[in-house]
Amino acid sequence: MNVYDTELISGILEESGFKKTSNIENADAIFLNTCSVREKAEETVFNRLNNLKSLKRKNPGLLFGVLGCMAQSMKNELLESKPFVDIILGPDSYRRIPEIIKERSKTNGSIVDTKLSKFEFYDNLFPSRKEGVNAWIPIMRGCDKFCTFCIVPFTRGRERSRTIESIVKESKKSVEQGFVEITLLGQNVNSYRTSEGNFSELLLDVSNIPGVLRVRYTSPHPADINENLLQVMRDKQNICNHIHLPLQAGSSRILKRMNRTYTKKEFLKLVEIIRTYLPNCALSTDIIVGFPGETEEEFKETLEVVEKVGFDSAFMFKYSPRRGTKASEYTDQIEEPVKQNRLERLIELQKKMSLLANQNHVGKIMDVMVEKESKKSEHQWAGRTDGNIWVVFDKTDENVKDIVKVKIDDTQGVTLFGHRIKLD
Ligand code: 5AD
Ligand code: SF4
């Protein structure tokens, strides 16, 4: 979502006459778009601000802006500890950036706007993107789920869904601009709901747009996955066979404390249903270790679920207390070395599972979309399978955006290696 928001902000600025510079030393304004989801993300922004401060000494007219979730959640700390920051704007205030830049040049002191809106969808504004095959299309913003560890409902505000019409319009425009893959985005993408239709209906409409070769979506909540959605995914070839299914924890007691609304058993059942509809569906996940009160036995349940499901890939995190969230007030916080140890054990297991999943693909012929030149060689392409796995193969006569058949010969780490197959 932040990648998209940055494209959107660039679009708003370019529309009002600003130009991007590739040399930061030449910039008249620098905006950092920030994330608050874990403490580490916030530390990165504070370090970055400290490093950028010297630029202001050289160019006193330089404007600094902090945008997004951290602006929302840490405005007071920012104002106090980083007085050289001129502009602080929350995730619903980007529309005002050009006006605020003008305002700021007339006044001294920082300008802060962190009002959250029930209505801001950034409709009719188009992001600035030029490269790649994929266009991100936000379909809903905010989250009402209130998982007890998560700051998103506080920084991004209440859930709101854009109209199908406006989403289809933006998707069509992206196709006209040359993008062939659409990724529907939302903090809670499948709780999308409007009077015109729900998520499955929207997905079907987007997959029916001529020129859309692939559709993805992220991130769904397991509780909002239903059979209707799986039917649509099964019936439409251009909807990618991949579901990001955040587990968060394997123990039902911890899941309850997280307010995740499903048990271990229900999660495993859902995986089974998904695999009945979509036998080859790739599954990825998010997992938190060391949530307050998590015992060694409960952590082992997470390992057990990871082993049972065999996720193709996973994002794994140590629990990080977030101010204002319920879990940060629990008195049984887990000590750092225990969290670190659990994270390392989980990563080790997941590495094995990813390798197993990838080894399963060796010998198969897979559809790969050519996306870019491989980083290692100008004679090779890198592209993704519809299950979201990167494949590297030697160039022949194909072009970027083509979907070609690749026979998988080998796997290393998370990447597959293969060669192009021409069937005719
Ligand atoms: N600590 C650690 N991980 C978190 N996530 C969200 N909040 C926290 C937190 N407080 C993780 C979840 C979520 C992903 C985007 O970030 O796994 O799915
Ligand atoms: Fe955070 Fe996702 Fe839970 Fe919403 S559903 S509170 S964004 S983890």
Residues 337-349 have pLDDT tens digits of 999 999 999 999 9
Overall pTM > 0.85: yes
Q: Which residue has the higher pLDDT, 345 or 121?
A: 345
- CA separation for the pair 188, 222 (Å, rounded): 10
> What pLDDT, on a 0 to 100 scale, did the predictor assign at position 400?
96
User: Is the minimum distance from the CB of 214 to ligand 1 under 6 angstroms?
Assistant: no
Assess if residue 120 is contained within a domain.
no
Smallest CA-to-CA distance from 179 within 123, 128, 132 is with 132
The per-residue pLDDT of the chain, averaged, comes to: 94
pLDDT mean over 93-121: 87
Query: Is residue 229 domain-resident?
Result: yes
Of 287, 344, 346, 348, the C-alpha closest to 317 is 287
What CATH number does the domain containing 207 carry?
A: 3.30.750.210
Is the omega angle on the peptide bond into residue 16 within 30 degrees of 0, that is, cis?
Answer: no
Q: Which atom of ligand 2 is nearest to the CA of 144?
A: 4
The Cα-based distances of 250 to 3, 297, 308 in angstroms read: 30, 10, 11
Please indicate whether residue 206, judged by its CB atom, sits closer than 6 Å to ligand 1. no
Residues 234/281, Cβ–Cβ less than 8 Å: no
User: Which residue in 315, 320, 268 sits closest to 37, CA to CA?
Assistant: 320
Q: Are 350 and 372 within one domain?
A: no
Q: Pick the ligand that lies closest to the CA of residue 142.
A: 2
Burial of residue 335, with CB atoms counted within 10 A of its CB: 0-12 exposed, 13-18 middle, 19 or more buried: exposed
Q: Is the same domain home to 97 and 140?
A: no
How far apart are alpha carbons 267 and 247 in whole angstroms? 8
> Quick check: 392 pLDDT over 70?
yes
Q: Residue 222: which domain range? A: 129-240
> Angle 385-137-87 (CA atoms, 0-180°, nearest 5)?
125
Does the pLDDT value for residue 184 go beyond 70?
A: yes
The C-alpha atoms of residue 165 and residue 376 are separated, in whole angstroms, by 42
Q: Token pair of 109, please?
A: 């002191």
Residues 183 and 99 in one domain: no
Give the count of alpha carbons within 13 A of 129, CB side only.
Answer: 24
Q: Is residue 15 part of a domain?
A: yes
Q: How far is the CA of 261 from the centre of ligand 1 (A)?
A: 16
Structural domains counted in the chain: 4
Q: Is pLDDT at 129 greater than 80 in this prediction?
A: no
pLDDT at 342: 98
Ligand closest to 260 (CA) is 2
The one-character DSSP state at 52 is H
Q: What is the DSSP letter of 209?
A: S
| pLDDT for the residue numbered 424 | 66
What's the pLDDT band for 120 if we cut at 50, 70, 90?
Answer: confident
Residue 411 lies in a domain: yes
Identify the pLDDT of residue 423: 75
Phi, psi angles (nearest 5°) of residue 369: -90, 125
Asked if pLDDT for residue 105 goes beyond 80, the answer is no
